Chains A and B, each alone.
Chain A
Amino acid sequence: MDLKCRGAQFDTDVAIVGAGHAGCEAALACSRLGLDTVVFTVSVDSIALMPCNPNIGGSSKGHLVRELDALGGEMGKNIDKTFIQSKMLNTSKGPAVHSLRAQADKRDYSGSMRKVLESQDHLTIKQAEVCELLWEDIPDDEREGTYVRRVTGVKTQTGTVYHAKAVVLCTGVYLNARCLTGESITYTGPNGLQAATHLSDSLKGAGVELRRFKTGTPARMDGKTIDYSKMEEQKGDERIIPFSFSTDPDSIQKEQVSCYLTHTTEKTHEIIRANLDRSPIYAGIIEGTGPRYCPSIEDKVVKFSERTSHQVFIEPEGLYTDEVYIDGMSSSMPEDVQIAMYRSVPGLENCRIVRNAYAIEYDCINAKSLYPHLEFKTIKGLFAGGQFNGSSGYEEAAAQGFVAGVNAAMEILGKEFLTLKRSESYIGVLIDDLVTKDNREPYRMMTSRAEYRLLLRQDNADLRLRKYGHRIGLVSDEVFDKTVLKQQMIDEETERLKSVMLGAGREVSKLLEQYGSPALSTATSLAQLLCRPELDYEKLAPLDPGRKPLPADVIEQVQIEIRYEGYIKRQERQVREQERLEVKLIPEDIDYDDVPSLRIEARQHLKEFRPVSVGQASRISGVSPADISVLLVYLERNGSPSTVQQK
């Protein structure tokens, strides 16, 4: 008997590489669906770490969190437990762009998520660097003589092998990461954490193409050294609205901490200009592509040279520390320049930097190599989510991690994949953009990317998506039934308001006059009155004795549905028009050279992207409507494509 160990071996259903915001959601989704799951992290203390901004949500990102929650994700619940300030943004700009944002206690957020992972059945947390992806080529049953590459597991730095039916890559910014502060370069992940330096080569060996992206973070300061009297206080909302549809609003009302607003000065900009040659980006040391929406203060000064000042927000990192985050001044300048430039900001004259600002470069993929269900096109069983896919932001990461995890589980369980449409969710827009468009920088969610955003409101995420959460098994019958009932109440009340007609009686005139609303000349429904900006559901109560008591969230939906009906209907019509192309699937093995009269440019793009549906094909730049028509004919001739499910 050979007593010599050659490395341990384990069997599991799913291996998740990384325990950031994407990895946590992926791990929870798989284990909650009953699959044995191992989640790997280079440091157990960095589970659900927030290495950059100390908040969750914000414009359009708040939508993602709400949607994730409706599907059965964890992020919304976790921030509801650990926030220290909460604000609904854009409240005066229309219901579709209302967006929730909460400042988090970073340590609490991370610790609380770790607790959730730890108490989850079927889930094992393992501190280890995954160094190798294991795979094999097996003969293709469908096409003789060809092979299909399939993932078989992962190997850690110690040589331990985890055999797995599916692997989900959520490596965030850790792959071959290097951090830059001026001339100083360290080969670490964010916050000085160990980078993952081996996996990249293994992935390349498996045929995964990698590229380099960069992002950055501002300095953290000792809050005791800041003079807040020179800044403007930014308080949270009086009435706090939770992220999660399952959180009782009354249970989370609490004391909140403030953020503070200050601004850069001419002097700040002078310091930066004088030292540009020492910035690694402007000196050409950084090769990764950085995001335009989150520019460093150097970028802002150079690109928007006409502006003499930029806003700076001081945000607490948590209740456990005095450290604060300097939002608006991310930088990769050398330390001495950083000190000088931060100290030129009113209120920061005597500041002490706890952690320097830095830029970070990392390996990631072009998500065009993924299917919309986030599996690699060339490696069966290998899924990817989060910043590794070329996105940025905690919320974007969590949303993708969830979808990647769910679909890894769906594949193992032999069930239908979860692919959300652009017309039903921001998550759908996010993933479709990532896997279809040519993204040359880390992708951030924005409301303007969602063409049907009037339908995709944060207030109706449950009505849109609970059904999918229920179908995949992450939303209980009880919760789902509640959502069905809510929809029913909304429909009934909307119908009722449309049918109750009012005449020009004395009571009506008096009430209208009270709110400065024009008198009625013909019979008018309550719904029509509700459309008047000066009136609302509450104000109409005296004229509506037939009204039943309804929950506040139902009334909110009724008001929105009635008031914006024309616009909502219009977008619904556009959705139906596009839908017919979305359901036309393109067979996986289509040979575009065989499609007659496609233009050369279109042929090239289609070959490169290999879209799954005609709808997706129609969004690829360089593919014209005429090309789509040509494609449709071809598909028609070669059998009904809508029955071909790529699997």
Chain B
Amino acid sequence: MTGNTQSTIAAISTALSESGIGIIRVSGPDSVSICSKILGDGKGDSVLEKMQAGTFRHLYVRDGEETIDECIVLLFKAPHSYTGEDTVEIQCHGGVLLLKKVLERVLKSGAVLSAPGEFTKRAFLNGKMDLAQAEAVMDLISSRSEMSLRASRDQMSGRVSDIIRALRAKILYETAYIEAAIDDPEHYDLEGYDTHVRDVVSDIKEKITGLVKSYESGKYIREGIITCIVGRPNSGKSSLLNLLTGYDRAIVSDIPGTTRDTIEEYVRLDDILLKLTDTAGIRNTEDEIESIGTRKAVDAALSADLILFMIDASEYLHMDDLEIFSKVHDKKCIIILNKADKPLMIKPLDVYEHFRECGDFSLRSMSKDDFLVRYPCIVMSTGGGNGLDDLKRSITSLFISGKIDSSSEVVITDMRHSQLLKDALSSLENVLECIDTGMETDIYTVDLYDAYRKLGLIIGEEIEDDLANEIFSKFCMGK
């Protein structure tokens, strides 16, 4: 059962579409304290706790120092709310990306993602429903939860299910062994088993970490890769920008209602979404920059997911090029040799030989092939407009197929799945901690099985009698 009535749940309660307004609803005993962590009046004060029940206020959603959105916040106190619990409703601007970002903040602050129909269920449990209406709502929810279950089953590529299944099988086996040893201590011995479990769990943990990371890269697919173009003056940044924005004139979205002065432009290269940050800054500062040291450009570069490093390849490498590289080589970086239809003076080999000297030992000892996988180097002619296909391929190889994050062979795309993976991860961390602090086997079995259950929720498999079946089929019991 998912009838978790003690926790505080949150969900986006409006349709995920490009509508003007989107609502995030938070319900449960801690909803006020959770939301006050991220909502403020702009003067650094958390006003939520002082708000009167049944009132609304104009507030700001914060992410650390940054303001994400301005919103209308409604506060309901138990039992006078839809669910009968303390409820905070955050009405922000619509837009899938923004809503998800706000929801993520709420979850990070301590709420858990609501299961389908959970708000309504709580309303029933607390005797809060208009009953005639309730039936209609439940019809909808039951059909939708069925659908979403099927959808998530369909959506999951076979690969992901296979991986999750394999991980679950490992956990189940270990749990079953321990249970067999507990139920039949004379036939199965747990002497030294802690060390074995430790190894297995560490291995599983690593794999799940990879999957969680893949969600992050999956996020790139859905929400865009924050991209920054850097390079010496006149290396062709502007023309690349024009080329990119010109490729698809439709700007996907600019986040509405934010108070920031920077402009973020979305550019779609077929299935790749680039979120070009600080493009204005770059555009404006291009003429003014004498060296690459301009603080603003460097900051923008350092907070980006992807650096497009423009080099004027009609000249020889410049000291400034080396300096730029030394600043950005920790990021995912594509080196663009822009020749603007002139003879090519720099070849990828030159880039390798010179640039690897800018980094630490691991960079210096890198082979040429490895280097060019890590820093794809493409020849482009921004003026002539060719090379875009190479660029797309390089971006794909860096972000999607995961040449760098080799652990994430598959991509997790669902926030709920990612959350469950993180939950499983924390259960497994508990297991390791228990083993390290000398807690008994029985205690960490609880966490081990918890991780198994969480993973099961991802692929929608019932757990019912798994454990008993595993014990009987793998271990020879008793009498």
Contact = CB atoms under 8 A, between A and B. Distances in A.
The interface centre, meaning the residue of B1, B124, B127 with most chain A CB atoms within 10 A of its CB, is B1
Contacts of B141: 626, 629
Contacts of A564: 443
B299 interface: no
B353 interface: no
The interface centre, meaning the residue of A90, A293, A453, A596 with most chain B CB atoms within 10 A of its CB, is A293
Contacts of B116: 625-626
A567 B138 CA distance: 35
B438 interface: yes
A596 B134 CA distance: 12
Contact of A96 (B134, B185, B438, B442): B442
A533 B437 contact: yes
Contacts of B2: 625
The interface centre, meaning the residue of A60, A92, A295, A446 with most chain B CB atoms within 10 A of its CB, is A446
A282 interface: no
A621 B464 contact: yes
Interface string A616-647: 00100100111111101110110000000000
Interface stretch (B304-312, B354-362, B367-375, B465-473): B465-473
Contacts of B402: none
Contacts of B186: 261, 311, 313
A477 B230 CA distance: 84
Interface stretch (B150-158, B176-184, B200-208): B176-184
B135 interface: yes
B146 A295 contact: no
The interface centre, meaning the residue of B141, B446, B479 with most chain A CB atoms within 10 A of its CB, is B479
B183 A447 contact: yes
B139 A632 contact: no
Interface in B85-138: 115-117, 120-121, 124-125, 127, 129, 131, 134-135, 138
The interface centre, meaning the residue of A94, A327, A580, A633 with most chain B CB atoms within 10 A of its CB, is A633
B52 interface: no
A307 interface: yes
Contacts of A261: 186
A448 interface: yes
B132 to A, nearest CB: 8
B142 A630 contact: yes
B476 A303 contact: yes
Contacts of A629: 117, 120-121, 124, 138, 141-142
Contact of A454 (B120, B182, B438, B446): B446
Interface residues of A, number: 62
A112 B330 CA distance: 80
Contacts of B185: 59, 89-90, 93
B443 A567 contact: yes
A93 B3 contact: no
B3 A447 contact: no
Nearest to B467: A448
Interface in A482-533: 533
Contacts of A405: none
The interface centre, meaning the residue of A300, A454, A630 with most chain B CB atoms within 10 A of its CB, is A630
B442 A628 contact: no
B447 to A, nearest CB: 9
Contact of B442 (A97, A446, A571): A97
A633 B138 contact: yes
A597 B142 contact: yes
Interface residues of B, number: 54
A581 B3 CA distance: 8
A218 to B, nearest CB: 7
B55 interface: no
Given A311-B187, A596-B139, A633-B138, A577 B4 contact: yes
Contacts, number: 157
A55 to B, nearest CB: 11
Interface string A93-111: 1111100000000000000
B6 interface: yes
A607 interface: no
Contacts of A571: 446
A51 B304 CA distance: 75
B477 to A, nearest CB: 4
B124 A294 contact: no
Given A533-B438, A580-B125, A93 B182 contact: yes
The interface centre, meaning the residue of B2, B3, B120, B468 with most chain A CB atoms within 10 A of its CB, is B3
B3 A628 contact: yes
B430 to A, nearest CB: 10
A53 B183 CA distance: 16
B5 interface: yes
Interface string A291-327: 0111100001001100100110100000000000001
A97 to B, nearest CB: 5
A355 interface: no
B127 A636 contact: yes
A310 B468 CA distance: 21
A618 B462 CA distance: 12
Given A53-B479, A448-B183, A293 B125 contact: no
Contacts of B476: 295, 300, 303-304, 307, 310
A571 B447 CA distance: 11
A557 B377 CA distance: 67
B477 A293 contact: yes
Given A93-B441, A447-B183, A533-B438, A625 B146 contact: no
The interface centre, meaning the residue of B120, B187, B443 with most chain A CB atoms within 10 A of its CB, is B443
A449 interface: yes
B135 A637 contact: yes
Nearest to A327: B479
A328 interface: yes
B190 interface: yes
Nearest to A615: B1
A615 B468 CA distance: 21
B142 A627 contact: yes
B64 interface: no
A448 B179 contact: yes
Contacts of A313: 186
A578 B5 CA distance: 9
Contact of B125 (A93, A596, A627, A632): A632
A573 interface: yes
A80 B479 CA distance: 23
Contacts of B472: 292-293
Contacts of B143: 597
Contacts of A294: 477-479
Nearest to B475: A304
B253 interface: no
A465 to B, nearest CB: 21
Contacts of B479: 53, 218, 294-295, 327-328, 330
B124 A632 contact: yes
The interface centre, meaning the residue of B4, B182, B190 with most chain A CB atoms within 10 A of its CB, is B182
A278 interface: no
B117 A626 contact: yes
CB-based closest 4 A-B pairs: A94-B442, A94-B440, A292-B472, A533-B438
29 contacts: A53-B479, A90-B185, A94-B443, A97-B182, A218-B479, A292-B473, A293-B471, A293-B477, A293-B478, A328-B478, A330-B479, A437-B465, A446-B471, A448-B179, A448-B471, A454-B442, A533-B437, A533-B438, A567-B446, A577-B5, A580-B3, A581-B1, A597-B138, A621-B464, A626-B145, A629-B117, A632-B124, A633-B129, A634-B135
Interface of A: 53, 59-60, 89-90, 92-97, 218, 261, 292-295, 300, 303-304, 307, 310-311, 313, 327-328, 330, 437, 446-449, 453-454, 533, 564, 567, 570-571, 573, 576-578, 580-581, 596-597, 599, 618, 621, 624-630, 632-634, 636-637
Given A218-B479, A625-B115, A628-B1, 18 more contacts: A93-B182, A95-B440, A293-B183, A293-B471, A293-B478, A327-B479, A447-B182, A448-B467, A577-B1, A580-B125, A625-B117, A625-B145, A629-B124, A630-B138, A633-B134, A636-B129, A636-B131, A636-B134
